[in-house]
Amino acid sequence: MAKVKLNPVLEGFRGKIGDLVFRRFNGEVVVGHKPDMAGHVPTPGQLAHQEQFKLAVVYGRTALADPDTKALYEAAAQAKGQRVFALTVADFFIHPVVDEIDLSEYAGRAGEKIHIQAHDDFEVAGVGVRILDTNGAVLEQGSAARNGNGPAAWVYQATTSLAQGQAVTIEVTATDRPGHKGMKTATKP
C-alpha cells in the first residue's frame, strides 16, 4: 500500500466523496474506493445486525436529546477519548453482567444482606433481586441499593424470613441505561 501525504484541507475529511471513502485508522487518513455492493444479498444475520444498529442509533439520539443523560455520556466520552455519539451506540450493544452474588451474610432472615457485583461498559442503572422457592414462586422481590464499595457494588436487604432450612433461588438482574438486562442466579440450600 502506498503512503500519500494529503493536503491539510483533506486531512480532516471523513466519509465519502464521490467514489472515494476517507477513514481514520491509527491516527492516519486512509483513502479507498467505495465498496461495490451490487448483487450482494445480505444474510439473515447481517439484516438482524443492521436492525440492531438502527435501534442503537435511535437510542443514541434519544439519550443525547436529554440534557442530563447527555452530560453523563459527554463526561465519560471525554475521559475515554471517544466521540460521545459513538459511546452511546456502543453502550446500546454491550449488556450488563452480574459478576457475583455473595450470600455469606444471608441465612434466610429478614434484614440480612445479599451483596452483588455487577458491571457494564458505561453504567449499571439498577439491580433487581427476586427470591424464589423451589417451585419458582416469588417469595420476595425488590431493588438493590448501590454500596459505597465501588461502582460495581450493590446490596439487597431481605424483607422476609424463610422457614428453617428452606431452599431458595436468588435471581439477580442488572439493567443498563439502554434497558438491557443481564441475569445470574444463586441457590441457598
Q: Are residues 162 and 139 in the same domain?
A: yes
Q: Are residues 160 and 122 in the same domain?
A: yes
Q: Are residues 134 and 85 in the same domain?
A: no
Residue numbers in the chain where pLDDT is lower than 70: 1-7, 9-13
pLDDT at 3: 56
pLDDT at 1: 44
pLDDT at 23: 77
Q: Are residues 177 and 142 in the same domain?
A: yes
* In contact, 117 and 152? CB cutoff 8 Å: yes
State how far the Cα of 32 lies from the Cα of 53, in Å rounded to an integer. Answer: 24
* In contact, 95 and 181? CB cutoff 8 Å: yes
pLDDT tens per residue, range 109-146: 999 999 999 999 999 999 999 999 999 999 999 999 99
User: Is residue 112 domain-resident?
Assistant: yes
User: Is residue 159 domain-resident?
Assistant: yes
Q: 153 is in which domain, residue-wise?
A: 97-188
State how far the Cα of 69 lies from the Cα of 177, in Å rounded to an integer. Answer: 9
Q: Which residues, including other chains, have CB under 8 Å from residue 112's CB and lie 6 or more apart?
A: 105, 106, 157, 158
In one-letter notation, the amino acid at residue 102 is D
Question: What's the Cα-to-Cα distance from 106 to each of 46, 157, 160, 162, 168, rounded to whole Å?
Answer: 46, 9, 11, 11, 11
pTM, whole model, 2 decimals?
Answer: 0.78
pLDDT at 129: 98
pLDDT at 181: 97
Q: Are residues 140 and 106 in the same domain?
A: yes
State how far the Cα of 5 lies from the Cα of 120, in Å rounded to an integer. Answer: 40
pLDDT at 148: 78
Q: Are residues 115 and 160 in the same domain?
A: yes
* In contact, 106 and 158? CB cutoff 8 Å: yes
Please count the structural domains in the chain.
2
User: Is residue 139 domain-resident?
Assistant: yes
User: Residue with C-alpha cell 448483487?
Assistant: 39
User: Is residue 137 domain-resident?
Assistant: yes
Q: Are residues 48 and 128 in the same domain?
A: no
pLDDT at 14: 73
Of the candidates 153, 152, 132, the one whose C-alpha atom is nearest the C-alpha of residue 141 is 132
State how far the Cα of 32 lies from the Cα of 16, in Å rounded to an integer. Answer: 10
